[in-house]
Amino acid sequence: MSFSLEEDFQIKLFEDGVLLSEFVITGLEDVLTKGWSKYNLTGPPKVNVAVHLENSGIIEIKPPTATCEETYWVNETRKIPKKSNSTDEVADEASNSSDADTNSTNSSGTKNSTGNKSKAEEFDIEIVQVKKKKKHDKKLLMTTLEYKPKPLRGDALKAAQLRLEAMAATEHEVQLVNEMKNELEALVYGSRDKMEDGILVKVSTSDQRDEVVKLSGEIEEWSYEGSTEKNEYETRLVSLRALLGPMEERAQELEAREDLPDMVKEILDDIKQSKSTIKKEMSWVNESKIEKAQEKLSEFTEWWGQRQEKQKKLPLSEVPAFTKIEVVDKVKQVQQEWDKLKKIKKPKAETKKKDAKEDDKADEKKTDESLPASIEATEKALSDVKKAKADAIENEDYDKAQDVKKQQEALTKHLAQLKEKADKDKAEL
């Protein structure tokens, strides 16, 4: 609502002719006589009242705002063209004509200084008054008087909120029970159909299937009366799944084992090919590493043979001797060992040195020139060199490891000298 007013007012809320609430608005008269009395107002204040209908159906009125408009005058500076008389104009024309003649004969193109006038000489300054407008806002005070039925307040409101939360929790529990009821019903009907599935018949005994059918019938009969407790449905779901789950796992493994022997044979053939390549063409590979990889290959081959023999003796209705995931994981580990050996690079050929002693001295001199000057820098460089040496050994780059070893020895010796010198200087102080 928007209206013009100069005094405090009231808003009354009715429903079917019954007074529900009364809102007393104050502060408008006070601001007009005190705060806004010094302003040159263009008219009475404009009051804006927002009336909201909440989602709950309750009408809420926000504290109103009063707005007034003030007018005032301010001085502004303006530029106006400068006026000149006729005599000046004739003199200016004569001067301009003379300037033009001079410019026409002046080969250097120099202009007469009197021919240019500054902008300040072309305009006059004028001060004028301009009318301005400005708005002022004031949040008014609102006091609410409630009549019957009065809205909830304080403890009564908190109690109602608790009841609402309890109702929401109960409804959520009912929803969970209904969902679990549907899940149990689907499992009961599905389990009966699965007992006639060919592959499940292979991996189960008649007693096991009869037990599933019997429990399904008992659950179905119980569900006619049902329960409102979620744990009642959870208990029956768990018990039926405990019977049906192992059968489904055995059926899944039975299908997975069909192509498993061929897959393992293919990987083992690849490992044998890698072994042959390493033996014939990669003489630089350490023999102990080959023996270690061969040991793992033999262990897997023995384990795989034993598991296959055990599985042949086991009835399909019992827990299988192995799972596909288990076998694939083991054979992949063996394959990775041989792949790692195939990636070992051939070490670089050693070059003969004419004079080993002279080269060592040159290297030592070069190393001394590049050594750090402080203890902290030397310790950091030594740590980096140790790490580089470890990486070189791991990658079997023995030439690099030997070079790094020399750097480590030089840094260690240099660090000891620095510390000895530091201790000596400290003792002299």
Q: 223 CB contacts (<8 Å, ≥6 apart)?
A: 181, 184, 185, 188
Q: What per-residue confidence (pLDDT) applies to 263?
A: 92
Structure tokens at 348: 């670089």
Q: Which of 311, 317, 316 is nearest to 212 (CA)?
A: 317
The DSSP bridge partners found for residue 47 are: 3, 66
What number of other Cβ atoms are within 10 A of residue 371's Cβ?
17
Q: Is the pLDDT of residue 109 over 50?
A: no
Q: Is the pLDDT of residue 428 over 60?
A: yes
Q: What per-residue confidence (pLDDT) applies to 154?
A: 83
Q: Three-state SS for 127? A: strand
Task: For tokens 């209206």, name the residue.
Answer: 3
Average pLDDT, the chain: 82
- Quick check: 49 and 28 in contact, CB under 8 A? no
What number of other Cβ atoms are within 10 A of residue 86's Cβ?
7
How would residue 102 be classed by pLDDT, with cut points 50, 70 and 90?
very low
Q: Which of 416, 428, 387, 419 is nearest to 404 (CA)?
A: 387
Determine the residue type at 247: M
Q: Is the pLDDT of residue 386 over 80?
A: yes
The percent of residues in the chain predicted with pLDDT above 70, rounded, is 85
Mean pLDDT of 393-412: 79
Which one-letter DSSP state was computed for residue 249?
Answer: H
User: In the 3-class helix/strand/coil scheme, how is 10-73 assigned residue by residue?
Assistant: EEEEEECCEEEEEEEEECHHHHHHHHCCCCCECCCCEEECCEEECCCCCEEECCCEEEEEEEEE
- Quick check: 184 and 223 in contact, CB under 8 A? yes
Determine the Cα–Cα distance for residues 23 and 194; give it in Å rounded to an integer: 71
How would residue 113 be classed by pLDDT, with cut points 50, 70 and 90?
very low
How would residue 360 be classed by pLDDT, with cut points 50, 70 and 90?
low
Q: Report which listed range, 37-41, 67-71, 114-118, is most confident.
A: 67-71
Q: Is the pLDDT of residue 10 over 80?
A: yes
Domain parsing of the chain, residue ranges: 1-106+113-151, 156-256, 260-342, 356-428
At 74, phi and psi to the nearest 5? -135, 150
How would residue 138 be classed by pLDDT, with cut points 50, 70 and 90?
very high
Mean pLDDT of 209-222: 89
How would residue 402 be classed by pLDDT, with cut points 50, 70 and 90?
confident
Q: What per-residue confidence (pLDDT) applies to 125?
A: 84
β 51-53/65-81 pair status: unpaired
Q: Which of 97, 1, 114 is nearest to 50 (CA)?
A: 1
**H or E stretch covering 77:** strand 65-81
Determine the residue type at 252: Q
Q: Is the pLDDT of residue 114 over 90?
A: no
Return the sign of the alpha-carbon dihedral for residues 311, 312, 314, 317: positive
Determine the Cα–Cα distance for residues 161 and 87; give it in Å rounded to an integer: 95
Mean pLDDT of 404-418: 82
Q: What per-residue confidence (pLDDT) applies to 115?
A: 46
Q: What per-residue confidence (pLDDT) applies to 104?
A: 44
Q: Is the pLDDT of residue 367 over 70?
A: no
Q: Report which listed range, 33-37, 101-105, 123-127, is most confident.
A: 33-37
Q: What per-residue confidence (pLDDT) applies to 137?
A: 92
Q: Three-state SS for 236? A: helix
User: In the 3-class helix/strand/coil scheme, how is 128-197 assigned residue by residue?
Assistant: EEEEEEEEEEEECEEEEEECCCCCCCHHHHHHHHHHHHHHHHHHHHHHHHHHHHHHHHHHHHHHHHHCCC
Determine the Cα–Cα distance for residues 243 and 73; give it in Å rounded to an integer: 94
Q: Which CATH number fits domain 156-256: 3.30.310.50, 3.40.309.10, 1.20.1270.10, 1.10.3720.10?
A: 1.20.1270.10
DSSP-assigned states of every residue in 290-324: HHHHHHHHHHHHHHHHHHHHHHHHS-TTS--S--H
Q: What per-residue confidence (pLDDT) applies to 369?
A: 53
Structure tokens at 219: 């659950």
More confident residue, 408 or 324: 324
How would residue 279 be classed by pLDDT, with cut points 50, 70 and 90?
confident
Q: Report which listed range, 32-41, 196-205, 327-336, 367-376, is most confident.
A: 327-336
Q: What per-residue confidence (pLDDT) applies to 301?
A: 93
DSSP-assigned states of every residue in 388-413: HHHHHHHTT-HHHHHHHHHHHHHHHH
Q: Which of 263, 253, 363, 375 is nearest to 316 (CA)?
A: 253
Cα of 140 vs its chain's centroid, Å: 46
Mean pLDDT of 204-222: 89
Tell me the CA distances in angstroms from 112 to 45, 94, 100, 142, one per residue in order: 65, 14, 9, 77
217-226 pLDDT, tens digit each: 898 889 888 8
